[in-house]
Structure 1
C-alpha cells in the first residue's frame, strides 16, 4: 500500500533547455514522482505536438536534475540530493548523445600501449618496439589494412607513449617514449613517406612512461619509472633557414644527436604514470605514490599537490572545464579542480570499471564528456554529470585496455593487450 502511495505522488517540474529549437513552454507541469527519463521524453513530445517541431523530428533527450543526469526515477534523484517533492523542480533537458559506432580494428604484432590521433593521422606504439602510422580517412571508411601507411622500428624495447608535435605541413613531427629509457623525436615527410630520427633524449634511468607537448609546441615533458619529471625542448623555435641547416647536420651525422633535458624535477617517490600541461609553464603529474603534483616550470618546483589513497596511473586536463581526471588502481576515476584550496578537491568520483583504470582522456570539444579504458577489457564513454554509470560501454577488446585517446573530435581510439587498436566514431551524423 505504501509503495502504491509513493507511485501516486506527483511533483511539479519546469523544463528548461539551452537548445532553443527544442524549447517548450515555461509553465510548470505535474508528473508522477516515479517517472524516469523515458516518461519525461514522452512529456516533452506531448508539449511539442502543437509546437514548431514535429514530433517525429524530435531526438531522444537526457535530463539533468540538480547537476546530474537522471538515471533512475525522479523521486530517487530528488531524495539523493535532498530536494523536497513539494517544491517546483527545474529539469534541464539536452539532446541525448548517440552511441559511438565501431569503425575498424587495427591488428598489431604485440600489445598496443600508446596511440594518439591528429586531424589526418593516427600514430600507434607497440610492445614489439615499433611505431605505426595510419590514415584516418581510410580508418573512417573501415579500410584498416589499406590505411596503414608506415611501420617504424623505433626503439630497443616496448613503446610506452606517443604524442604528435606538428601535423600542419607535409613535414610532421612526433615523439615516442620507451622502456629503453629514451624519448625520441621524429620527423615524418608524409609526401615521400620517409621518417627520420631527429634526436634521442637521454636522461631517464628507467622506463619513460608518459609524454606531453605544451600548447606552444616548443617544449615537452616526460615522466618515468625513475620517479622523475623532465622538461625538454622540441627544437622547433628556429627559422626555416636554421631548420634546413639542422637538417643537413643530421643527414651528415652517423648517429642521431642526443638531447639532454632543460630541467629535471624530483618530487615523486614512485613512478610517474601520467603527465599533462595545464597551462603555460605548468605541468601536472600523476604518480603511483598516490599523489598528483602541479609544477611551476619557471621556478622548478611544486605549485600544489593533491594526495589520494591509491596509485594514480593516468591524468588528463580539459581547458574547457579546467579540471583534471585521473585513472586509479582502486577502479575509480576521479575529477579534481586544482584551483580549489579549501574542502574536498575531489569534484566527482566515477564508478563502473571492475579493474584498474590505466587511461582516461577528455573530449577536446565537449566539456562534459570523456573516455576511459580499463583492465576489465572495456572502453567507457562518460558524461561527468553521470558519475554512477557511463553513457555507453564500448566493447570489442578481448584483453586489457592499455590506452584511450579522443584527440580527434570524431573518433575514440583504444589500444589493448589483445594486440589491436580499435576505432569508434562519435560523429553525430553518419
Structure 2
C-alpha cells in the first residue's frame, strides 16, 4: 500500500498537534484522517468531527485521488489544515401554506415572512408554529414572486413589520404586518400603498437602506427605482373613482391603494431582468437576466459600470459583503461565484457543483466568507462551501414528491416538489416551494 508524508496544522491553537511530518496510507479519506488527528490529540474517547483543507480546498476524496487529480506523486509532502467540521442545519419549524411558497425573508430570530402563489403574504412565529399575521395582496389568485422586510423608520410602530411584496400584477405592495401574535386589540395588517410603473411581472426586489430606495426587476426588461422614505410612502394619491358599474357587474371587494410612481428606470439588459442583489456599503446594485448577463450598477449615477456574461440565464443573485463575492443561480445545476473587484470579472472565479436541476435561489450566510445556501428545481435545499467546489457541504432538505400527485402509468414515480426560495439570517435557513411547506432550520456559521 502506497504511503504519503503529511503534516497537520490548524489555526486553533488549543487543538494543535506536533508539527512533525508522518507517513500514512494514501487511501486515507476524511474519516481516517480525523481518527489520526484525534489520536494525536488524545481524544479517542471524545473525538472531534474534523474537516481538512489542502491549498484552501476542502478534501472530499482520498489522498491518492487528490495527488492524481493534481499531477502529484506520493513523494510530495502534503500540508493538511484541519478544523472542526460544521454540523448540518437542524429543523426548527415547518408550516403549511395554501399554495406554493415562492419568496421568503427572515425578519428576526423568531419571525419569518413568506409570500406565495395565492397572493398572500404571511408572518410566521418559529417558536410555536403559528401564523402571526397574513394579508391577501389582491383579490383573486395573483402569484407573488418576491418579498423583503424593509428596515423600520423612526415614524413606524416597533410592533409592526413593513413588508414589500411583488409579482405577476406588475406592482409592489407595501404592507404593515403585525410582528406580534394578533389579539383582539391588535390592528390587522394594513396595506400602505402600491409602487407602480412596470409593464411586466416583477421577479426580484433589492433595498439599499442608506439611500431609502427600493429596486425592482421585471420581465419588461427594466429596473425601476422607488423611494421608501416614510413621507414618500405616505404621499401617494388614490386612483380616480371608477366609473359607475353596470347593474350586472360584480362589485369589487378590494379597496384601491394610493399609488407611488418610480423615481426612475435603469436599462441595459436585453430581455427579462430576473435577479437583484446589492452592496449597501458601496451603494452598488447587481442585476441578472435572461440575456446571460450580470450587470454592476453605480447607484450614485444609476449607470452600468461593469457587465459580466456566462453560458446560462441568470435566475438568482446574492452578494456577500464578508467574502465580497457575488453568487449566482442559473438555468443549469451550477452556482457561479464572481469577484466583482477583479479587473477581468467577465470570467467566473469558481463553479460550485450544487444540484441536478436549475438553481433558482441563493443566499449567503451573513457572517461567513465561505457558506451559502441554494434552492433548486431538483427539490433540494443545500448548504455550499466555496472551498468545496466539487460537492455541497450539507443537504438541508432532500427532494420530496409533489403532494397529492395523480399518477400516470403504473409504477411511474411522482415528480419532485420544486424548491423555489431560500433565505439565511439570524442563525436560520428558511426555504419554501411547490409542496406548500415553509421549512426553517437552525444553521451554524462557525464553530
TM range (shorter): 0.7 to 0.9
1:126 and 2:116 aligned: yes
Structure 2 unmatched ranges of 5 or more: 181-185, 242-254, 402-416
Q: Is the 8 A contact 1:358 1:403 kept in 2?
A: yes
CA drift at 1:193: 5.0
Q: Is the 8 A contact 2:93 2:127 kept in 1?
A: no
CA drift at 1:353: 1.2
Tell me what 1:425 maps to: 442
1:401 and 2:425 aligned: no
The 5-angstrom pairing of residues 204-353 of structure 1 reads 204-216=198-210, 218-236=212-230, 246=234, 255-279=256-280, 280-342=282-344, 345-353=347-355
Structure 1 segments (4+ residues) deviating >6 Å? 247-250
Q: Is the 8 A contact 2:102 2:421 kept in 1?
A: yes
2:5 to 3, 8, 12: 12
The 5-angstrom pairing of residues 160-199 of structure 1 reads 160-166=145-151, 169-190=158-179, 192=186, 194-199=188-193
Instruction: Give the length in aligned residue pairs.
Output: 402
CA drift at 1:324: 0.7
The CA distance in 2 between the partners of 1:306 and 1:249, in whole Å, is 40
CA drift at 1:248: 12
Query: The residue matched to 1:339 in structure 2 has which SS?
Result: coil
The CA distance in 1 between the partners of 2:345 and 2:361, in whole Å, is 27
Tell me what 1:4 maps to: none
Q: Is the 8 A contact 1:98 1:428 kept in 2?
A: no
Q: Is the 8 A contact 1:65 1:77 kept in 2?
A: no
CA drift at 1:423: 1.6
* Structure with the higher fraction of residues in helix conformation: 1
Give the 3 Å change call, closer, same or farther, for CA 25–163 of structure 1 in structure 2.
same
Give the 3 Å change call, closer, same or farther, for CA 200–248 of structure 1 in structure 2.
closer
1:46 and 2:39 aligned: yes
The CA distance in 1 between the partners of 2:262 and 2:151, in whole Å, is 20
CA drift at 1:189: 4.3
1:148 and 2:148 aligned: no
The CA distance in 2 between the partners of 1:193 and 1:113, in whole Å, is 27
Structure 1 unmatched ranges of 5 or more: 1-7, 139-143
Q: Is the 8 A contact 1:118 1:167 kept in 2?
A: no
Q: Which sits farther off after the overlay, 253-262 or 204-213?
A: 253-262
The CA distance in 2 between the partners of 1:230 and 1:20, in whole Å, is 51
Q: Which sits farther off after the overlay, 162-171 or 377-386?
A: 162-171
Give the 3 Å change call, closer, same or farther, for CA 190–374 of structure 1 in structure 2.
closer
Q: Is the 8 A contact 1:114 1:160 kept in 2?
A: yes
Tell me what 2:194 maps to: 200
Give the 3 Å change call, closer, same or farther, for CA 148–155 of structure 1 in structure 2.
same
The CA distance in 1 between the partners of 2:364 and 2:444, in whole Å, is 16
Q: Is the 8 A contact 1:150 1:193 kept in 2?
A: no
Q: Which sits farther off after the overlay, 75-84 or 296-305?
A: 75-84
